[in-house]
Structure 1
Amino acid sequence: MAVKVFLLFAASAALCAAQPVDSNLPVLKEPPREVTFRVSSAKAHPFTIPCATTTPNDKVVYTWTKNGKPFPVNEKSQDIKMRAGEGTLIFNNPKDSDEGVYQCLATSTEGVAGSRPISVKKTFVDIPKYTLQKHTPEEGKPFKMECSVTKAYPKPVIEWYRQGKDGKYLDIMEKRLLESPEGDLYFTNVTKEDVSKDVKYVCLVATQAADDKLVAAEHIIEDLTPAKGPKSGELTPQYLSKDMTAKTGDIVVMMYCIYGGTDLTPAKGPKSGELTPQYLSKDMTAKTGDIVVMMYCIYGAKGPKSGELTPQYLSKDMTAKTGDIVDLTPAKGHKSGELTPQYLSKDMTAKTGDIVVMMYCIYGGTPMAHPDWFKISRDGTRTNVNGQPGDRVTHRNRSAGRRLWITKVLADDDATYECVANNGVGKPQSHKIKLTVQREYSKCKINAPQPQRGPAGRSLWITKALVEDDATYECVANNGVGKPQSHKIKLAVQRDAGRRLWITKALAEDDATYECVANNGVGKPQSHKIKLTVQQTHRNRSAGRRLWITKALAEDDATYECVANNGVGKPQIHKIKLTVQQAPEFTKQPEPVMLAKVGDDVTIPCKVRGAHRISWSFNGQPLEVKEPTDTLTLSKVQKKDNGYYACMGSSDVGDVYAETLVHVA
């Protein structure tokens, strides 16, 4: 096996190690920017504001501020407690007055560490009273069903379903129907297929302010009135997005371009008629932007002793859309309402800063179950974490709730997660997943005359590991003074025996014919060809009427134009100007711990893109820093300079916060 060597030369000694830098030093875990809670007269919904050091330390004293003023915690109070051994606040009986901006202060012999300001907000939703609305719209003309929920925090997810006499909800999949961001349901044209006195169109609201989805509107199309005048096919605007503003890093930006009119273009794909669970499942697992296309080429041997290869599962020619996922897994389950486990994530481990953690909770059964997710903290507090599109923690990602996303993992995500699946027929099922979040400060321990600032070659990154990366890697550290040190790491890259070809994020140039050749050295070699057609598309199932931009970038700042044409009426054009504001983002931030000796010069970086101002604090107190404020220089440090230095880069659209412990030995 090849040995790949990379050399490390530094002005000071650096010895690679697997352990974090001085893990016993009291450093605070990174808290969330926002914590939400519920107030209910029926029952209490406890919540926590986390604050703890990365490693247990019984010598740390925790205090809190609220809205910039001291917030004392009464040990005898049953409403608000502080978790033993931590500074985490537990609100057992939440009240409206608990809203505010909190900051945790951890005092130790090193100084006073401060968390970033944590915004604590109450969730609520105001569902107006509704009555069943009965309609007789004009046949072939555009139509709108209203479901407006304007008073809520955070913004709820509005979903539309059809509900029959049996009370079961069925997804609405027709491309003629599309909901707007405000929740109204638009029909580009009404047909006889939409008419039924026994089927209701139901608007459901999913919100953190309630355990279950809430009904906000019910509609029935009883009959159609004859169309007035000739069928012109002219397009009429129904919902057109106005100019909008987004921040860099926003998870999803959606622009709508909905015109009503008779669609006379040929239908794409087969006529599905009534939707089956298999069809729904495929649609719901599309477009995560993760793994896009999987091609299978699996051959088995004939009989127990023959080397002849026989095809077991060969992918057929397929069509993918740029950014799509193609799921080739055969349908599982059976025609029973009972739920059976298909794929349940096991306990897992992640590191703070990991981009995405996905937990799966897939049960088979008809009808399909839409699981709900809960987070169980160490104190037993159980919090609904279904979330909504764009949230850091959410299951609103077109997986019908069967997959929970956590983007940019935080230390506070260390908990047990429970999914509860219920399809209204079989027995509800639950599954728990323990997520352990590890936090590292650095890949190499520092033992140097001058403090190290930044990785300085102490970390080797391999992004998107390939088979050829399977090797032994050697790190050689040499500062020109002490004896050079070396460390070897063996990286094993797992293979799937070549039976599956992965294409991540399908591109237009991936449109080609792929051939796999299987040979076991005994039987006759076998080959199979798969034609992949990649279509440029708007993604999703909105028939092009909704444009998605995932993770907005500065270069997305532009004017977007949609052109609607049904082949009959006059083409319509609509322009939307998207202004993307640069949210503050670190380009270089201080490490959690910086080690120095008396007399050293220490430079603490705080370079922030998009910040209008940068402020500093030392041990929780404001610190005046001369221009440029993106760097704090401590000259010839002494013991009195030991402590916590924090910087915050802020603008009108957000802020970033980082803190470092300067330990002077």
Structure 2
Amino acid sequence: MELAFRGASSWMMLDAYRWIKNGKPFEYTSYDNRISQQPGRGSLVVTNPKDEDLGQYQCFAYNEWGTATSNSVFVRKAELNSFKETDGSQKTVQAQEGLPFKLACHPPDGWPKPNVYWMLQGDQGQLKTINNSRMTLDPEGNLWFSNVTRFDASSDFAYTCAAKSLFRNEYKLGNKVYLDVQQTGISPTLNKHEPVRQYTTRRNEVALRGRKVELYCIYGGTPLPQVVWKKNGSTILSSHRLTQDNYGKTLVIRRVGYDDQGSYTCEVSNGVGTAQTYSINLQIKAAPFFTEEPQFQNLAEGETAVIRCKADGTPNPQIKWVHNGKPIEQAEPNPRRQISDDSIIITDLTKKDTGNYGCNATNSIGYVYKDVFINVQFAL
């Protein structure tokens, strides 16, 4: 594991580095040889990480002209716990032919959040993935049968919920579940049921700009219901960024943007009874992002420095300025320095104005930070 600091400008000749952990000075030399600093750099290298290494780290690089600050790095332990019930036991559940059905999964905790899915497990332990238009996995790990057929009954296999950690490259299995299908005695072609809602995304959904969002519209019924997606009343066409998965039951937007905000409706029908509709109001929020970043400046005494910083986001971000690693409010008073939300203006520069100036834009979603070196040269 490596904690790397790369925030200092190449124009600033660095003399020393220091780290803080959870807001307090972090003296890595007081630890054993597990923690070392790369020669000529501020990066910390942690070998054989332990629980005591978890926490929030931040690096400061400084010399006689100022201090540069890195972004905070939060170190967590990757783990995948076991299912709460993994005693090897098995159970049999009953479902009726032709009707919708749900197999519930209670996945284990883990970091990052594990991927959850269902498998078919043979009597000899062999595993097989499920790929069936009638069976759909929801985000919570439950398996929904749009309708149950007699062929879903367990004979030489069991249904098993699984959790996988991509980071740790391992997976855990839950207990076996056997499905007993109660046949109705009616011909499958005559056993029809109108659409019924099973799992849908909440009606008011919030997505983060730049992330992937999945909108679910899982309905049961016999025959298998068909889904048509619309946005603000217009049918949605698939593209490289917007697709439909799970046989149309999931609408996927790969990198959601402000233009994706609106009302999404799924129309569900199977030729039996009344067609169903369900609407989702999608709201887009965004962590702060720079629309104008502060830039390195190499100026002479007597000139004026204008350091600009603008950011956007939802909710609107608040901008705070940093000078040499500390809030600018704690900097030495300077009557030649004017501070506003989007700029710092320093007139009649002197060599003492040399230093690092950072812009931190924050809202309830996150933050973005950048500091730059302002170099003031002696006038000729």
Pairwise TM-score range, normalised by the shorter structure: 0.7 to 0.9
SS at match of 2:247: coil
What residue identity is the alignment partner of 2:311? V
State the match for 2:248 in structure 1: 544
TM-score (norm 1): 0.49
1:51 aligns with 2:5: yes
Displacement of 1:615 after TM fit? 0.8
- For the 8 Å contact 2:287–2:365, the answer to whether it is kept is yes
Displacement of 1:133 after TM fit? 3.4
Any unmatched runs of 5+ in structure 1? 1-46, 267-320, 325-504, 506-537
- For the 8 Å contact 2:264–2:280, the answer to whether it is kept is yes
CA distance in 1, matches of 2:200, 2:11: 54
Match of 1:650 among 362, 370, 374: 362
- For the 8 Å contact 1:138–1:225, the answer to whether it is kept is yes
TM-score (norm 2): 0.82
State the match for 2:230 in structure 1: none
State the match for 2:84 in structure 1: 128
CA distance in 2, matches of 1:239, 1:553: 25
CA distance in 2, matches of 1:54, 1:92: 28
Displacement of 1:612 after TM fit? 3.1
SS at match of 1:64: strand
What residue identity is the alignment partner of 2:183? P
Whose RCO is larger (CA < 8 A, sep 6+)? 1
1:579 aligns with 2:291: no
CA RMSD of aligned residues (A): 2.8
SS at match of 1:543: helix
Match of 1:253 among 210, 213, 235: 213
CA 1:264–1:86 in structure 2 vs 1: closer, same or farther (change >3 Å)? closer
Displacement of 1:235 after TM fit? 1.7
What residue identity is the alignment partner of 2:239? G
Displacement of 1:661 after TM fit? 1.2
Displacement of 1:193 after TM fit? 2.9
Displacement of 1:567 after TM fit? 1.1
Match of 1:599 among 302, 305, 308: 302
- For the 8 Å contact 1:56–1:85, the answer to whether it is kept is no
What percentage of residue pairs aligned between the two structures are identical?
A: 31
1:227 aligns with 2:184: yes
CA 1:574–1:227 in structure 2 vs 1: closer, same or farther (change >3 Å)? farther
- For the 8 Å contact 1:57–1:85, the answer to whether it is kept is no
What residue identity is the alignment partner of 1:323? S
Any unmatched runs of 5+ in structure 2? 227-236, 330-336
CA 1:623–1:211 in structure 2 vs 1: closer, same or farther (change >3 Å)? same
Match of 1:238 among 198, 210, 225: 198
CA 1:81–1:264 in structure 2 vs 1: closer, same or farther (change >3 Å)? closer
SS at match of 2:218: strand
- For the 8 Å contact 1:264–1:568, the answer to whether it is kept is no
Displacement of 1:258 after TM fit? 0.7
- For the 8 Å contact 2:100–2:144, the answer to whether it is kept is yes
CA 1:163–1:60 in structure 2 vs 1: closer, same or farther (change >3 Å)? farther
Displacement of 1:182 after TM fit? 0.5
State the match for 1:101 in structure 2: 56
What residue identity is the alignment partner of 1:204? A
Question: How many residues end up aligned between the 2 structures?
Answer: 350
1:27-42 aligned within 5 A: none
- For the 8 Å contact 2:302–2:350, the answer to whether it is kept is yes
CA distance in 2, matches of 1:644, 1:54: 9
Displacement of 1:109 after TM fit? 4.3
SS at match of 2:248: coil
CA distance in 1, matches of 2:350, 2:25: 30
- For the 8 Å contact 1:63–1:104, the answer to whether it is kept is yes
Structure 1 segments (4+ residues) deviating >6 Å:
54-58
1:626-645 aligned within 5 A: 628-645=340-357
Q: Deviations over 1:560-610 (max 9, x none)?
A: 22111111132112122222123211101023x322122221111110012
CA distance in 1, matches of 2:267, 2:154: 33
- For the 8 Å contact 2:14–2:61, the answer to whether it is kept is no
CA distance in 2, matches of 1:110, 1:636: 18
